[in-house]
Structure 1
Amino acid sequence: MTADPTDPKEKLLDAALCHVPIDGWTEAAFRAAIADLGMEPGLARALCPRGAVDLALAAHARGDAAMLKRIGEADLKAMRFRDRIAAAVRFRLEEAGDVEVVRRAVTLFALPQHAADGARAIWTTCDAIWTALGDSSQDGNWYSKRAILSGVYSSTLLYWLGDGSPGRQATWAFLDRRIDNVMQFEKLKGFMRGNPLLKPLAAGPDWMMGQIKAPSARRGRGLPGTTMPRR
């Protein structure tokens, strides 16, 4: 996705991307980007108070925006829902950018001090996918769907980083297997609800999930991990 050429933060991110494969998402890469642009250090710090960490999150947000654009342009209606999810995850990985840049981001967000930022970024991606695909759940399923997809996305991303197969076909096969595992679990839940002998076992968890409410658009506005519906 093409960045806004007039946005100074986007310019700073583009400049940093030239240095990240060698220096990682570090202060060295941040300072090199500032020098390349001839930008005032004070302005750069105002845009990114945490330096390269904020730029890494901006790069992730750029990938999310590109994914949403592709979802909006693609004709997914004829697909099974599990295939729509697979397509969305594939779009996101295809828009992730340079593999080494992503690898450096994974390393950054594996550090204890940045782990919460990394988890929030993945959750935001998965929330964006579910929202774009029309998820209307209002109970605990809102959370469980995003938590499960976060696991699928994270494991597929790690597989993608090490995949050298032509066209990354091994990654897409891995993604399909992960989603199939999730669908088998959903089928098991459906079987339990439909079986008179097993239904009582599902009644308790179902009741509990029904008491949990998804964040409303008003309460969720501006909170991390919540994607506002597109108009």
Structure 2
Amino acid sequence: MTDTTTSQDHAAIKEALLDAALMHVAFDGWSPATFDAAVADAGVDPALARALCPRGAVDLALAYHARGDALMLERLAAADLSEMRFRDRIAAAVRFRLEAASDKEAVRRGTTLFTLPQNAPDGARAIWNTCDAIWTALGDTSDDFNWYSKRATLSGVYSSTVLYWLGDDSEDHAATWEFLDRRIDNVMQIEKLKANVRENPVLSKLMAGPMALASRIKAPTARHTHMPGRWSR
């Protein structure tokens, strides 16, 4: 990839491979067979396809997840959420993300793929990136331990909601959205408890040490993109 045009060409080729792969995922999963079929169907040189996707179908599964994130962000940018409570904005973002998944079977097969030990770190990173995208799109400006706790908590909500959604056959996935609301209510109760701890003189004194330690943990910055976070001196 020596220039912008080449980069765009390669991105388009990878998109074509992904579109072709989705025709086979329901039958063969995100597997070498699916990748080989996608290469043949898209008419891509096998050497180029392997250069763009060194891990074959695993890289295409991650590309499918990233495509869903991009569609979610487009919908968030176009939606008017100004009249919503913040917890409802989060629920809307998660719902937009699930509705961006046009192929439930591809998600189901991806969930199976990323439960394999060798792929689990990639799956966890993909979910984390989705939740980071949601918080960033909703205007999160935290720069301390809260940056991590917000994304970790939402990762749990998102993951459990995806699993529920995969098995939901209710009309318009109404049961899933009810499940999502309950999970977010649970999170809000935790946040309320944390606020009560901060406001209680006795508890806040007991937690002063851990809170001081946590305050030194900082979110990643452009200068630290190679690291998961940073420690404030």
- Scaled by the length of structure 1, the TM-score of the pair is 0.91
**Of the candidates 180, 183, 197, which is equivalent to residue 192 of structure 1?**
197
Mapped to 2, the partners of 1:36 and 1:192 lie a distance apart of 59
- Which stretch has the larger CA shift, 17-26 or 72-81? 72-81
Which residue is 1:105 aligned to? 110
Equivalence map 1:144-223=2 (5 Å): 144-220=149-225
Question: How far is 1:47 from its partner?
Answer: 1.0
Q: Percent identity?
A: 70
Q: CA deviation at 1:216?
A: 1.1
Letter in 1 for 2:13: P
Task: Tell me the distance in 1 between the aligned counterparts of 2:73 and 2:148.
Answer: 20
2:126 equivalent in structure 1 = 121
Matched position secondary structure for 2:63:
helix
2:140 is paired with a residue of what secondary structure? coil
Q: 1:199 Cα deviation (Å)?
A: 2.1
Cα separation, 2, equivalents of 1:135 and 1:186: 15
Q: Which range moves more in the overlay, 18-27 or 211-220?
A: 211-220
> In structure 2, what is the Cα distance between the partners aligned to 1:202 and 1:167?
45
Letter in 2 for 1:39: V
Shift of 1:203: 2.2
Instruction: Indicate conservation of the 8 Å contact 1:139/1:213, yes or no.
Output: yes
Shift of 1:206: 2.1
Query: SS state of the match for residue 150, structure 2?
Result: helix
Report what 2:97 is aligned to: 92
Evaluate the alpha carbon distance shift between residue 223 and residue 131 of structure 1 in structure 2; reply closer, same or farther with a 3 A threshold. farther
Alignment-derived partner of residue 139 in structure 1: 144
Counterpart CA distance in 2 for 1:154 and 1:202 is 30
SS in 2 for 1:7: helix
User: Cα deviations across residues 143-184 of structure 1 (Å, max 9, x unaligned)?
Assistant: 111111100000000000000111101100110110100100
Considering only aligned residues, what root-mean-square deviation do their CA atoms show, in Å? 1.7
Give 2:53's aligned residue: 48
Residues in 1 aligned to 2:191 and 2:99: alpha-carbon distance in whole angstroms? 27
SS class of match (1:198): helix
- TM-superposed CA distance for 1:109, in Å, is 0.2
Specify whether residues 120 and 24 from structure 1 end up closer, same or farther in structure 2 by C-alpha distance, changes over 3 A only: same
1:223/1:169 CA distance change after superposition, 3 Å = farther
1:228 is aligned to: none
> Equivalences for 1:57-68 in 2 at 5 Å?
57-68=62-73
Following superposition, the deviation at residue 223 of structure 1 comes to 7.0
Deviations 1:103-138 (A, max 9, x none): 000000000010000000000000000111111001
Q: Normalised by the size of structure 2, how large is the TM-score? A: 0.91
Q: Give the alignment partner of residue 83 of structure 1, picking from 88, 92, 95.
A: 88
Residues 8-39 of structure 1 deviation map (CA, whole Å, 9 limit, x = unaligned): 10000000000000000000000011111222
2:68, 2:97 within 8 Å by CA — same for their partners in 1?
yes
Higher RCO structure (Cα 8 Å, ≥6 apart): 1
Name the aligned partner's letter for residue 33 of structure 1: A
How far, CA to CA, are the matches of 2:188 and 2:65 in structure 1?
A: 27
Whether the 8 Å CA contact 1:120–1:224 is kept in 2: the answer is no
